[in-house]
Amino acid sequence: MINFEYIRASSVKAAVDALAKNPTGKFIAGGTNLIDLMKRGVTAPTRLIDINDLPLKQVEETTDGINIGALAINSEVSENELIKNNFPLLSMAFAAGASAQLRNMATVGGNMMQRTRCSYFYDTTMPCNKRQPGSGCGALQGHNRMHAIFGASDKCIAVHPSDMCVALAALNATVSISGPKGNRKIPFTDFHRLPEDKPELDNTLQKGEIITGVLIPKNNFNKNHYLKIRDRASYAFALISVAAALEMDVDTIKKVNIAMGGVAHKPWRMTEAEKFLVGKKATRENFSKAAELAMKSAKGYGHNNFKLKMAPIAITESLMIATGIV
């Protein structure tokens, strides 16, 4: 690692101002991803701005839903009664995530900001447009077993690694942001971006902005399931994950939100499948048809072609488990 300056911010404004004075700096809270990247030479911020003293650790009920501060710890959010009672899908996603040690350090905002676990991104001897724009994408013709089947480009086929973010995308969350130009809100599904021609940009944050929280709106989802398929049962990133939330009237689907992880540069909402299922009965046949619709734009890159078969099965299974068919 290179030498860097370390400072602590006492307010959101102080944190934003500190980054404005040194645009090559980085905010740090739990540091579970950032420190890894620094050790490997993937990133080299000249200033670390410690934001742990900011008053952003709340999990509180509001008139609109539940507001979670950006510095709330993953393990604490997962076990919070408000979350377990109102948004069990999010608790399930947290439980399927990293090791207990990491969940005890990682923050909600940090989870959102974590970068891809693509081996070409982490290996500084290999080409990677995300790490070094213009150098090429080693995964395109290389080992791409973990990589995207949706929304990729010829510049990058990496996937976003978060479980939490998949659940938040399915729950229609909103991200609260503060920056030099003031405060703003972004729909969670618009926060992360697809690679297109600028894979080095993971999200839609503007220069100098900081995440302050996430609002999950109230809903009537009474059937939920988070399915994660991985190489081993603990501390492994998803080959494919599915977050399914349904509002059921007996056996009829009134509303359904489905998001997938391990398949794209961002949590991937299955909007066509959702539209198809509204008003339908909860049956294996209908779930299978919805899964087929969800796969229309999917594309494999060789080693990850198995995901083209695994994904529709995972969608169907998650919906069946959520509704109690199996």
Is the residue at 29 inside a domain?
yes
| Residue range 241-270, pLDDT digits in tens | 999 999 999 999 999 999 999 999 999 999
Quote the distance between the C-alpha of residue 108 and its chain's center: 10
Which CATH number does the domain housing residue 299 bear? 3.30.390.50
Is the residue at 138 inside a domain?
no
Is the residue at 206 inside a domain?
no
DSSP letter (8 states) at residue 154: T
> Is 304's pLDDT higher than 70?
yes
**Final residue of a domain: which of 11, 30, 52?**
52
Which residues neighbour 242 within 8 Å (Cβ) at sequence distance 6 or greater? 166, 225, 226, 227, 258, 259, 260, 261, 314, 315, 317, 318
Residue 235, pLDDT score? 81
Q: Is residue 177 very low, low, confident or very high in pLDDT (cuts 50, 70, 90)?
A: very high
| Residue range 112-167, pLDDT digits in tens | 999 999 999 999 999 999 999 999 999 999 999 999 999 999 999 999 999 999 99
- Closest listed residue to residue 1, CA positions, set 50, 47, 43, 51: 43
Residues 23/208, Cβ–Cβ less than 8 Å: yes
Pairwise CA distance, residues 250 & 172, whole Å = 23
Mean of pLDDT values over 162-189 = 97
Mean of pLDDT values over 206-224 = 97
Q: What pTM, to 2 d.p., does this model score? A: 0.96
Question: Which regions of the chain does DSSP assign to beta strands (E)?
Answer: 5-8, 26-28, 47-50, 59-61, 65-69, 174-179, 182-187, 210-217, 223-229, 240-249, 252-261, 268-269
Q: Is residue 100 very low, low, confident or very high in pLDDT (cuts 50, 70, 90)?
A: confident
Q: CB-hemisphere CA count at 13 Å for 78?
A: 20
Number of domains the chain contains: 2
Is the residue at 135 inside a domain?
no
| Residue range 226-247, pLDDT digits in tens | 999 999 888 889 999 999 999 9
Is the residue at 246 inside a domain?
yes
Mean of pLDDT values over 102-117 = 94
Which CATH number does the domain housing residue 37 bear? 3.30.43.10
Q: CB-hemisphere CA count at 13 Å for 11?
A: 3
- Mean pLDDT (the chain) is 96
Hey, what are 319's tokens? 């919906």
Q: Could you tell me the residue range of the domain that residue 238 belongs to?
A: 223-323
Q: Is residue 3 very low, low, confident or very high in pLDDT (cuts 50, 70, 90)?
A: confident
Is the residue at 127 inside a domain?
no
| Residue range 38-71, pLDDT digits in tens | 999 999 999 999 999 999 999 999 999 999 999 9
Is the residue at 77 inside a domain?
no
Residue 1, pLDDT score? 63
Pairwise CA distance, residues 153 & 171, whole Å = 27
Is the residue at 76 inside a domain?
no
- Closest listed residue to residue 85, CA positions, set 105, 71, 65: 65
Query: Considering Cα of 70, then 146, then 299, then 273, what sign does the dihedral take?
Result: negative
Is residue 130 exposed (0-12), middle (13-18) or buried (19+ Cβ within 10 Å)?
buried
Q: Is residue 103 very low, low, confident or very high in pLDDT (cuts 50, 70, 90)?
A: confident
Pairwise CA distance, residues 225 & 246, whole Å = 9
Pairwise CA distance, residues 189 & 244, whole Å = 15
